Each structure stands twice: as C-alpha cells, then as structure tokens.
A and B are shown apart, each in its own frame.
Chain A
Amino acid sequence: QKEVEQNSGPLSVPEGAIASLNCTYSDRGSQSFFWYRQYSGKSPELIMSIYSNGDKEDGRFTAQLNKASQYVSLLIRDSQPSDSATYLCAVNRMDTGRRALTFGSGTRLQVQP
C-alpha cells in the first residue's frame, strides 16, 4: 500500500464548476498536509496547507482534512482553464527524525473552456 494515494485522473470539469480532488494516506501519525500544483514540465508549487480537522479556505481553494478517515481533499471553486495541472497531495510527520514530505502520484485536472 502506498503511503499517499491519489486517483491519477484525468479529472475533467467544465469552466466555472467545482473540482474535487481526493487523497488518502496510510500513516496515522501524519500531522501536516499539503497540496501542490504542478504544471507540465514545471516544479511543484505550494497552494494549501492544513494541520487540523475541518476546512481551510483560501480564495477559490478549500482544503478539507479528516484524520479519522485518513482523508484529505482539495476543492477548487469556479474552476478556470489556468487551473489545469497536476495536483500533488503531500503529508509528513513531525515526531520522527524523517520529516520530509511524502507525495502522492498526483491527480491531473483538466478544466474545459
């Protein structure tokens, strides 16, 4: 079982719709959760972080965390063609010596004009 699992997609949504991206993780000790956006051929860019259960909103982005279900999601409201990219979920633990982020394989999002 992979530590961080994401559906590879592509997830296709029409412009203006809500895109919902999901991620599950296996390590119950995970404490920090991140969403990165990666355009083709570019490096990942941090867009959201979440540390406690519930929702966290930042502009058109909402991150949701449910530690009991080991589930993280990212909602993108009013999706734009410029949101078309691969979205990487990443988690880490802070109580061990290995504190580097572990990434999922990413979900490719396509926003259709």
Chain B
Amino acid sequence: EAEVAQSPRYKITEKSQAVAFWCDPISGHATLYWYRQILGQGPELLVQFQDESVVDDSQLPKDRFSAERLKGVDSTLKIQPAELGDSAMYLCASSSNPGQGYGYTFGSGTRLTVV
C-alpha cells in the first residue's frame, strides 16, 4: 500500500536552534498538507500545496516557519528559531484530488521536542 514518507520520526532540539522536517507524498498526489498536532488537540493546518504552489498558509507562523515544495513532489518544513511552544507532532498528508472531497493519507509524523 502506498505511503506518505516522513523523516525524522523523532527530533529533539534546543530552543533557538533550527529544525527541518521532510515529507514525500504518495506518488501522483498533487496536494500536500503540513499539519501540527499539539498533545490532546486535533491537527491544525499549517500549509497546503497544490503541486509546487502554496494554496493556503494563513495559519503558518511565517516569522519562524517556512515550507517549500520546489519540484511539486517532496516537501520540507523548517522552523528557525525553534521555541518551546513548537513541541508537537508534525504531520504530512497528501491527496489525489481535494476537489472531490477525498480524505487524505497521513505520514507517520515527526515528534518534535524543544528543550
């Protein structure tokens, strides 16, 4: 079964350091999403890509977060500098056609701990 690949699975970083997460969506999926899930809460959208273009980054804290999907395939989410409140699970998901309202497949996530 096709999967969304994410790495690393776990990351511990010190406050004020830079950290990056990588995601490779299911082959052929044009839409890619990055979500953040704080413990005890539901996932919250950070950024949505359609191919290489950003569709929605209204909830992305742009002073410290950046995301790119240069060739419309894999994507990187970066935080610089990391803050204690960034500790969360970072989830990547992909979808073949969001216009049809399909649910999407999540990767295994990256658990970030900022100390």
Contacts and interface: CB of A to CB of B under 8 A. Distances in A.
Chain A's interface size range is 20 to 34
Interface string B5-23: 0000000000000000000
B106 A43 contact: yes
Contact of A103 (B42, B99, B100, B105): B42
Interface stretch (A11-19, A67-75, A76-84, A93-101): A93-101
Contacts, number: 68
Size class of the contact patch on chain B: 20 to 34
Contacts of A46: 103-105
B45 interface: yes
For B101, B102, B107, which residue has the most chain A Cβ atoms within 10 angstroms?
B101
Main secondary structure of the interface of A (DSSP, over half): loop
A102 B40 CA distance: 16
A46 B93 CA distance: 11
B1 to A, nearest CB: 12
A88 interface: yes
Contacts of B107: 43
Given A43-B108, A44-B91, A101 B40 contact: no
B-side interface mostly? mixed
Interface in B34-75: 35, 40-45, 48, 55-56, 58
B108 A42 contact: yes
A43 B104 CA distance: 12
A27 B56 CA distance: 18
A107 B99 CA distance: 28
Contacts of B104: 46, 101
Contact of A100 (B42, B45, B108): B45
Interface of A: 4, 8, 31-32, 34, 36, 41-46, 49, 51, 88, 90, 92, 94, 97-106
